[in-house]
Amino acid sequence: MNTYQRIVLAARPKGEVQPENFRLESLPLPSCGEGEVLVRNQFLSLDPYMRGRMSDAKSYAAPQPLDETMIGGTVGQVIESRNPRFAVGDTVVGMFGWSEIGLSDGALLRKVDTTHIPASAYLGAVGMPGMTAWYGLNHIMKPKAGETVAVSAASGAVGSVVGQLAKLQGCRVVGIAGGKEKCDYVVNELGFDGCVDYKAGNLRADLKAAAPDGIDAIFENVGGEVFDAALGRTNAFARIALCGMIAGYNGEDIPLKNARLLLTNRLLVQGFIVTEHMELWPQGLKELGQLVAAGKLKFRESVAEGLAAAPDAFIGLLKGRNFGKQLVRLS
Amino acid sequence: MNTYQRIVLAARPKGEVQPENFRLESLPLPSCGEGEVLVRNQFLSLDPYMRGRMSDAKSYAAPQPLDETMIGGTVGQVIESRNPRFAVGDTVVGMFGWSEIGLSDGALLRKVDTTHIPASAYLGAVGMPGMTAWYGLNHIMKPKAGETVAVSAASGAVGSVVGQLAKLQGCRVVGIAGGKEKCDYVVNELGFDGCVDYKAGNLRADLKAAAPDGIDAIFENVGGEVFDAALGRTNAFARIALCGMIAGYNGEDIPLKNARLLLTNRLLVQGFIVTEHMELWPQGLKELGQLVAAGKLKFRESVAEGLAAAPDAFIGLLKGRNFGKQLVRLS
């Protein structure tokens, strides 16, 4: 087998992402040059930020180029190495994108230990999603024990970590998720104090019931109505970590109706991108890894099988169809 | 003359404030008890926050009670004192409200020196508006020299101080104000680098021209479209101090259209109320007083004559008809 497959961006989406925005290609296996490492990717991570990259609107990151491998985090095994830092069989985390194979000089590859932590977790709770949760909670929301923390997309890769970390810090944690099944999981498996199903049609009333003392800190990664509803329950001096606004990824405006509360409740809102805080990753990943290894930080995965399934899985992710961290198994 | 006049809240406004919301009353002059101070107010300060107090919607402060003296900051002279801390003739700053006379035990009265600073300035640049500017700039916006700072309501009591302080710190300062006259004042008298007239109908384009390198920090006290336009020009990591959203004081929603930028530009938004940071007032007032005394901090006043003129002056303030700090001369 001397070919591999990858998926490139074929066309930028107009509105919702469509399968036609992607193109599956076969390429010859590259040869491993001096100092290089060849990796067979085991899992690809699908994340909402990819939707932003597919557009060429001005944003914090350069757009995904057309006809090039879609960006994405991966974990896989070294199958050939001409770099002394890596040996065949090593498990490595990288950014090889939507591709079965990756070739690298090793500079941005990170060797990970899968003795106590499954490889896929390095794309989730012990990877970028986990770090996003860790940073937002500890560096922006800074909740005190006894405070109420609200988390949107609560069953997702980021939200589930935010809530569990907040529980470990002694907070009352209220999740917001889509559907009874996700809410049950959030409460029964992850240990949140409550979870509001935004699809049930009573978002504001249900949130009031679930957070009777108001909300002191919000982790917001949905935007739109869910964000407005959470803002509407804030207590004075609440802190809001803002990372990901899926509701607006398709290019539509997401007006914030409760903007007045920013003033009247003296709120702090901080948007952030966790890759701009790399200096904190070693500390955060160490803490997250220890919690996962100790069974104190649970996570759930949705695994699509094979690279060709990635576009549908990604479209489902944007619509909230996934349940837990969305991955694609590549080998 | 053993009576004095005051204005009480007669009825809560429905929508825009009307003259009928107020009632002028005559009362007998109170007698000065042991430990008390009787003050003849010279100036009353009119400020946008009063609009909020007139409503009974949940907010950071208790609503103004009906049939009681409207809240407000005052500066005046002691006319009788049975308190050893104050002598007849002292100039004192207090919160005696819309009233010609104030009686106090002295606890919340502050004696001020009018040798180099006019009494009225203690209601403006060297009072709460000045402190609001000072706090927002130095504790939230924290601009670096060379950065671009945008200030809404730029000719007003708060905005004019924000901009001048930012200029003293080496920033490029762009004001936003209503009308050519105010904009000319902001540039020619206050020394801002530019000023956009939001009434001219080209807010976004004009702001782009005035801030070609984008905006690094915003002092926002208008809200609505002006805030959205400023957000639309932010650079990554911009900081926004939010204090006062006049555009929404009449009870209507003020949706924020550019909410997406909170994330994509990793913005920091912090709402604040300067009276919750009293520990910083001595330092701030000292700095502001020195700048005013040295002629380095200019200000302008709109003075309405006599207490009976206060309601119209206040309604004009809410509509942006004032030019500079709105005061009422009471004696």
DSSP structure string for B215-261: EEEEEESS-HHHHHHHHTTEEEEEEEEE---GGGTTS----BGGGHH
Q: Is residue B287 part of a domain?
A: no
Q: Is residue A323 part of a domain?
A: yes
Residue B263 is nearest to which of A242, A253, A268, comparing CB atoms? A242
Q: What is the chain B residue with the closest CA to A247?
A: B260
Residues 6+ apart with CB under 8 A from A202: none
Taking a C-beta distance cutoff of 8 angstroms, is the pair A295, A6 a contact? no
B125: amino acid identity, one letter: A
* Cβ contacts of B55 on chain A, cutoff 8 Å: none
pLDDT at A184: 97
Max Cα–Cα distance, chain B, nearest Å: 64
Stretch A155-181: mean pLDDT: 96
Look over chain B and give the mean of its residue pLDDT values, rounded to a whole number.
94
A135/A216 same-domain check: yes
pLDDT at B251: 58
pLDDT at B255: 79
| Structure tokens, B220 | 């926002």
B111: amino acid identity, one letter: K
CATH code at A260? 3.40.50.720
More confident residue, B167 or B57: B167
φ and ψ at residue B77, rounded to 5 degrees: -115, 140
Shortest CA gap A193–chain B (Å)? 27
CA distance to A211, A259, B329, per residue, from A228 (Å): 15, 8, 43
B225/B158 same-domain check: yes
Q: Would you call B266 and A270 a contact, using CB atoms and an 8 Å cutoff?
A: yes
B135/B111 same-domain check: no
Q: Is residue A291 part of a domain?
A: no
Look over chain A and give the mean of its residue pLDDT values, rounded to a whole number.
94
Shortest CA gap B206–chain A (Å)? 20
pLDDT at B141: 98
Stretch A45-73: mean pLDDT: 89
B254/B116 same-domain check: no
Q: How many domains does chain A have?
A: 2
Pairwise CA distance, residues B132 & B246, whole Å: 15
Pairwise CA distance, residues A287 & A2, whole Å: 40
| Structure tokens, A217 | 């800190």
Q: What is the chain B residue with the closest CA to A244?
A: B263
A197/A248 same-domain check: yes
Q: Is residue B289 part of a domain?
A: no
**Reduced to 3 states, what is the DSSP secondary structure of residue A290?**
helix
pLDDT at A254: 72
Q: Is residue A239 part of a domain?
A: yes
Shortest CA gap B238–chain A (Å)? 10
A16/A110 same-domain check: yes
More confident residue, A19 or B322: A19
Return the H-helix or E-strand segment holding B51.
helix B49-54
Residue B262 is nearest to which of A253, A271, A276, comparing CB atoms? A271
The neighbour count for residue A51, using CB atoms within 10 Å, is: 22
Q: Is residue B60 part of a domain?
A: yes
Helix residue spans in A88-222 (DSSP H): 128-135, 159-168, 180-188, 203-210
Residue B245 is nearest to which of A254, A260, A269, comparing CB atoms? A260
Q: Is residue A248 part of a domain?
A: yes
Return the H-helix or E-strand segment holding A315.
helix A310-318
Stretch B187-199: mean pLDDT: 97
Domain assignment of residue B88, given as a range: 3-124+299-329
A59/A167 same-domain check: no
Pairwise CA distance, residues B20 & B162, whole Å: 34
More confident residue, B10 or A255: B10
Chain A residues whose C-beta sits inside 8 Å of any chain B C-beta: 52, 58-60, 223, 227, 236, 242-245, 248, 253-257, 259-260, 262-273, 276
The total number of residues shown for chain B amounts to 331
pLDDT at A19: 97
A268/A215 same-domain check: yes
CA distance to A23, A59, B217, B324, per residue, from B150 (Å): 45, 21, 6, 18
Q: Give the residue among B57, B64, B61 at the shortest CA–CA distance from B98.
A: B64
Beta bridge partners of A7: A24
CATH code at B75? 3.90.180.10
Angle at B206 between CA B203 and CA B210, to 5 degrees: 130
Q: How does pLDDT run across A201-220, given as a tens digit for each residue?
A: 999 999 999 999 999 999 99
A135/A103 same-domain check: no
- Percent of chain B whose pLDDT exceeds 90: 84
Contacts 24+ apart (CB under 8 A), B55-59: B55/B12, B55/B13, B55/B251, B56/B12, B57/B251, B58/A264, B59/A264
A20/A116 same-domain check: yes
**Reduced to 3 states, what is the DSSP secondary structure of residue A84?**
coil
Q: How does pLDDT run across B121-173, given as a tens digit for each residue?
A: 999 999 999 999 999 999 999 999 999 999 999 999 999 999 999 999 999 99
The DSSP bridge pattern shows strands B172-177 and A148-151 to be unpaired
Residues 6+ apart with CB under 8 A from A36: A81, A82, A83, A103, A104, A105, A106
pLDDT at B129: 94
Taking a C-beta distance cutoff of 8 angstroms, is the pair B212, B235 a contact? no
Shortest CA gap B293–chain A (Å)? 32
| Structure tokens, B191 | 């020394």
φ and ψ at residue B294, rounded to 5 degrees: -85, 0
A117/A43 same-domain check: yes
| Residue that is last in its domain, among A242, A258, A275 | A275
- Percent of chain B whose pLDDT exceeds 70: 96
Is residue A246 predicted with pLDDT exceeding 70? no
Half-sphere exposure of A271 (CA within 13 A, CB side): 23
The neighbour count for residue B217, using CB atoms within 10 Å, is: 28
Stretch B286-303: mean pLDDT: 96
Q: How does pLDDT run across A262-294, given as a tens digit for each residue?
A: 988 999 999 999 989 999 999 999 999 999 999
**Reduced to 3 states, what is the DSSP secondary structure of residue A149?**
strand
pTM, 2 dp: 0.88
Substitution target in A225, A245, A263, A274 with the highest count of B β-carbons within 10 Å is: A263
ipTM of predicted assembly, 2 dp: 0.84
- Confidence at A252, pLDDT banded by 50, 70, 90: low
B162/B207 same-domain check: yes
pLDDT at A37: 97
Q: How does pLDDT run across A253-263, given as a tens digit for each residue?
A: 677 888 888 98
**Cα dihedral value A72, A78, A80, A84, nearest 10:** 110
Is residue B60 predicted with pLDDT exceeding 80? no
Pairwise CA distance, residues B242 & B222, whole Å: 9
Is residue B249 predicted with pLDDT exceeding 80? no
Q: Which of A65-74, A175-184, A250-259, B235-244 has the lowest mean pLDDT?
A: A250-259
Stretch A145-150: mean pLDDT: 98
| Structure tokens, A258 | 């409760």
Pairwise CA distance, residues A68 & B233, whole Å: 31
Q: Is residue A110 part of a domain?
A: yes
pLDDT at A245: 65
